[in-house]
């Protein structure tokens, strides 16, 4: 496993296991257990995934030392603001039941982000949270909020894959040393991406799958990746990324695939209102 050093000095595994849209009917517990057996040591969940409890139980039942597993969760939009964020943090800590959260993110950057950030900074001082960051921040959103933060985000988790390489926000983040973390790093399982002839040719040259080449590209670009899988074979495959390397020519070919457009536009009108109505998190 490779690790990224965050701007707060802590280390984060560069490959994590994402549990978005995996139900809390025992399915999350099962796949997280499988992922930990396969060697993952970074699990990414969120209040709005409604499966924090199963993630926490799988981590506890694994018997792997707590300090060896990096767990991320995220604050939902309804809990923005100082008091709301304190409630949201307490709720996540209770549901995970792991003593602390390694990384806690502002999931959607709308509303009273500044107040929520202050509560997260306080939770970090109390060691309830060890690192704090943001998610889905575009350059415009970053410039609106981050200059007012007392401390810079350790991470910005964004949609990132070869078709949408987030060059503008990654450039902006460099000055603070914030790390890029990729959600849906395989492009939502897009056939256009996984069957792209450039990626297929590079995969064939290395004896790898297109998915492995995509994830390897993102890691070599300096990002952490959060592939999601439910089958044991794919869970293992997405971790087998550290015994090959793309050449600089191959990296340039991959960089040339960027369209500058993703599936989700955080700057679009009405996004905040739509998301606020999408989920209600209860104690």
C-alpha triplet 207, 211, 42: angle, nearest 5°: 115
- HSE value, Cβ hemisphere, 13 Å, CA-based, for 251: 11
- Which residue in this structure is represented by tokens 């104690």? 283
Residue 245 CA from chain centroid, whole number: 23
Q: How buried is residue 211: exposed, middle or buried, by Cβ count under 10 Å (0-12/13-18/19+)?
A: buried
Asked if 49 is an active-site residue, the reply is yes
Q: How far is CA 42 from CA 26, 90, 216, in A?
A: 19, 21, 17
Residues 218 and 185: beta-carbon distance below 8 Å: yes
Which of 49, 82, 100, 110 does the annotation list as catalytic?
A: 49
Nearest in space to 48 (alpha carbons), one of 14, 80, 70: 80
Point out the residues that are catalytic: 49
């Amino acid at each position: 496993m490779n690790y990224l050093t965050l701007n707060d000095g802590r280390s984060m595994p560069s490959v994590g296991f994402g549990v978005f849209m995996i139900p809390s009917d025992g399915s999350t517990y099962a796949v997280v257990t499988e992922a930990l057996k396969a060697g993952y040591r970074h699990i990414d969940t969120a209040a709005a995934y409604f499966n924090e409890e199963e993630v926490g139980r799988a981590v506890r039942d694994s018997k792997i030392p707590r300090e060896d597993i990096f767990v991320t969760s995220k604050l939902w939009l309804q809990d923005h603001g100082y008091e709301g964020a304190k409630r949201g943090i307490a709720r996540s800590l209770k549901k995970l039941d792991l003593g602390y959260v390694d990384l806690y993110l502002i999931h959607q950057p709308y509303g009273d982000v500044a107040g929520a950030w202050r509560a997260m900074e306080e939770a970090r001082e109390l060691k309830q949270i060890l690192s704090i960051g943001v998610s889905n921040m575009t350059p415009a959103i970053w410039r609106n909020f981050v200059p007012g933060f007392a401390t810079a985000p350790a991470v910005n988790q964004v949609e990132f894959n070869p078709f949408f390489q987030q060059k503008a926000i990654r450039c902006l983040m460099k000055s603070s040393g914030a790390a890029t973390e990729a959600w849906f790093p395989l492009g939502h399982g897009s056939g256009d991406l996984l069957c792209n002839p450039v990626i297929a040719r590079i995969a064939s040259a290395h004896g790898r799958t297109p998915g492995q080449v995509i994830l390897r590209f993102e890691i070599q670009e300096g990002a952490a990746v959060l592939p999601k899988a439910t089958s044991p074979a794919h869970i293992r495959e997405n971790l087998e990324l550290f015994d090959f390397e793309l050449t600089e020519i191959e990296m340039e070919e991959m960089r040339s695939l960027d369209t500058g457009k993703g599936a989700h536009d955080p700057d679009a009108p009405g996004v905040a209102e739509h998301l606020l109505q999408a989920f209600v998190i209860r104690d």
